[in-house]
Amino acid sequence: MLKYRSLQKIADEAMKNNVSIGAYVLKDQAMQMETAEEKILEVMDRQLTVMEQAAVNGSAPGIRSMSGLTGGDAFRMLEYGKKNNTISGDFCSKAMATAIAVAEYNAAMGRIVASPTAGSCGILPGVLIPMMQEKKIDRQAAVIALVCAGGIGMVIANKASLSGAAGGCQAECGSASAMAAAALVEMAGGTPEMVLHAVAIALKNQMGLVCDPVAGLVEVPCIKRNASGVMIAITAADMALAGIRSVIPADEVIEAMREVGDSMPCALRETAQGGIAATPTAKMLTLQIFSKGEKK
């Protein structure tokens, strides 16, 4: 049974058994949980359904967060995409819109899947849903890709952290981007080694990302980071599928992420004391939000 402390070990086992990482993690989890693979797939399918519902609900034009800081940007992105003149193209614009929608729905107290965290909840659905809709990937393949992403997330959690308070936003949006990149490669039929290279590339491109939420809320700049995290995942997946390799192995990148997180000052780890949260505008907004709450 897997210990989920080495991505290379998982990839090696998958290749030895001539299956994808998602298929191998599914088999291993069924063994560890002493349940049928079908039961796990049912649970993951329900998770995917919640993601789909959050994407739809978060795309409503009138959605707003309790603070009033965010809402309506997913709708704006979708409307912009309908004009067919986006710089990034149709698939990417829909991926960004989906990521923003789920993250905005989270900020509006909607039901989401923490994948791996609430602050990074839009990134994984941001790739899964457009792949099903635009690239005609069947649901079963998307569910298996979700299992693959889960396996990647478990290793990151064991070797480093998924918490912004512990390791900065690199641990949240960075990990989510790595998981999403893995899911994309899995759905595209890439090899286990390609999955690992996609993970490494995605994580390296968000190394050192700080957690600096304005007013301590998971809204600004978190929601827009979900959109950029989706784009990093897509970039990493396409590079890996093209045969581009990460010079530094994925396991070493994860360890480096942990070391960077450990060296971050407290002000840059979800305390809202540094970074964007410490700007004059952020401080003004914080006063407005909390003074509004006192009046009630």
| Residue 163 identity (one-letter amino acid) | S
Looking at residues 44-57, what average pLDDT do you find? 98
Instruction: Categorize the per-residue pLDDT at 108 as very low, low, confident or very high, splitting at 50, 70 and 90.
Output: very high
Cβ 253 vs Cβ 204: under 8 Å: yes
C-alpha distance from residue 99 to each of 59, 102, 124, 128, 207 (Å):
10, 5, 8, 10, 20
At 64 the pLDDT is: 97
At 1 the pLDDT is: 76
Instruction: Categorize the per-residue pLDDT at 2 as very low, low, confident or very high, splitting at 50, 70 and 90.
Output: confident
| Residue 237 identity (one-letter amino acid) | A
Looking at residues 274-284, what average pLDDT do you find? 98
Smallest Cα–Cα separation from 175: which of 148, 208, 201, 202? Answer: 202
Looking at residues 16-35, what average pLDDT do you find? 97
User: What is the total count of domains within the chain?
Assistant: 1
Residue 20 lies in a domain: yes
Residue 2 lies in a domain: no
At 162 the pLDDT is: 98
Those residues whose C-beta lies under 8 Å from the C-beta of residue 31, and which sit 6 or more positions away, are 1
Q: How many helices (H) and strands (E) does the chain have?
A: 14, 0
Residue 58 lies in a domain: yes
Residue 274 lies in a domain: yes
Checking if the pLDDT of 296 tops 50, the result is no
**Before 213, cis peptide (omega within 30)?**
no
Looking at residues 94-115, what average pLDDT do you find? 98
Checking if the pLDDT of 294 tops 90, the result is no
Looking at residues 124-140, what average pLDDT do you find? 97
* Mean pLDDT for the chain overall: 97
Residue 96 lies in a domain: yes
Those residues whose C-beta lies under 8 Å from the C-beta of residue 287, and which sit 6 or more positions away, are none
Looking at residues 143-152, what average pLDDT do you find? 98
Rg (CA), the chain: 19
CA–CA separation, 143 and 229 (whole Å): 20
Domain that holds residue 44: 7-295
Residue 1 lies in a domain: no
Residue 47 lies in a domain: yes
Assign residue 35 a region (left: φ > 0; alpha: ψ between -120 and 50; beta: otherwise). Answer: beta
The predicted-structure confidence for 231-265, as pLDDT tens digits, reads as follows: 999 999 999 999 999 999 999 999 999 999 999 99
Instruction: Categorize the per-residue pLDDT at 293 as very low, low, confident or very high, splitting at 50, 70 and 90.
Output: low
Looking at residues 108-134, what average pLDDT do you find? 98
Checking if the pLDDT of 61 tops 50, the result is yes
Looking at residues 178-193, what average pLDDT do you find? 98
Q: Is the pTM of this model over 0.75?
A: yes
Say what percent of the chain tops pLDDT 70. 99
